[in-house]
Amino acid sequence: MAELAVAASLLQAYGTIQQGRATDAMYKAQADQTLVQARSQVLQSRQQELAHREDGIKVLEQMKRNAATINARAAAGSLDPFSGSIGNLMTVNLDQGFQDFTMTRDNRFIAQQNQIIIQKSAEHQAAQFRMAGKAAKRGAMFSAMTSVAMAGATYGMMGGPGGEYSLLGGGGASAGGATAAGSIPAGYSRTPYSGGNIIWGPS
C-alpha cells in the first residue's frame, strides 16, 4: 500500500508539472497574439499618418494654385497683388492654407504618437503574460517537488520497503510477527503432558 501511495504522488506531481507547462505555453501564445494585434494596429495608424501627409501636400498645392490664380488676375487688370482687395484675397488664401496644413500636420503627429503608444502598451502586456507563464511554471514545479518530498517522508514513516504497509515484504504481523506452525514462541518450551501429548508453557 505504501508503494501505491508513492506512485500516486509521483503521478500527481507529473500532472502538476505538465499543467504548469501548458499554462506557460498558453500565456506565451497570448503574448505573441498581443504583439501581432498591436502590429496590425500600428500599420493602420501608419496608413492614417500617410493619409494626413498626403492631405498636407494637397493643401500646399491648393495654396499655390490659388496664389497663381490671384496673381494672374491681378496682372490681367494691372493691379498690385499685395494691396487692396487682391491683397486681401492673397492673405485669406495664405491664412486658410496655413490653418489647413497645420491641422494635417497635427493629425499626422497624433498618428505617430498613437503608433508608439500601441507598440509600447502591447510590449508591456506581452511581458506581463510571459511573467505570468513563468510564475505558473515555477509554481507547478515547486508544488510537484513538495508533493514528492511529502510522499517520500510518508513512505519513510511507514517503514520503507520493509515496513508493515509495504508491498515488497518485510516486517509486520503478517510477515514476521506470525509464528510458523510447529515453532516454539520466544520464552516458551515444550512440556510433557499426561497421555503423551506435549504442550507449550513458560520456560
pLDDT value for 2 = 64
7, part of any domain: yes
Calculate the alpha carbon distances from 41 to 44, 70, 104, 109, 119 in Å: 5, 44, 20, 16, 9
CB under 8 Å to 193, separation ≥6 — which residues? 199
3-class secondary-structure state, position 100: helix
33, part of any domain: yes
122, part of any domain: yes
176, part of any domain: no
CA–CA distance, 73 with 76 (Å, rounded to integer): 5
pLDDT value for 166 = 54
pLDDT value for 178 = 41
192, part of any domain: no
pLDDT value for 68 = 87
Chain centroid to Cα 111, Å, comes to 29
Q: Residue 90 sits in which domain range?
A: 2-171
196, part of any domain: no
The backbone torsions φ and ψ at residue 198, rounded to the nearest 5 degrees and listed phi first, read -120, 135
199, part of any domain: no
Please answer whether residues 93 and 70 qualify as being in contact, where contact means their C-beta atoms are separated by less than 8 angstroms. yes
Number of separate domains in the chain: 1
pLDDT in tens, the chain (203 residues): 667 777 887 888 888 889 999 999 999 999 999 999 999 999 999 999 999 999 999 999 998 888 888 888 777 777 666 667 777 888 888 888 899 999 999 999 999 999 999 999 999 999 999 999 999 999 999 988 888 888 777 777 766 565 555 555 554 444 444 444 444 555 555 555 455 554 445 54
163, part of any domain: yes
pLDDT value for 74 = 78
pLDDT value for 171 = 46
CB under 8 Å to 67, separation ≥6 — which residues? 90, 93, 94
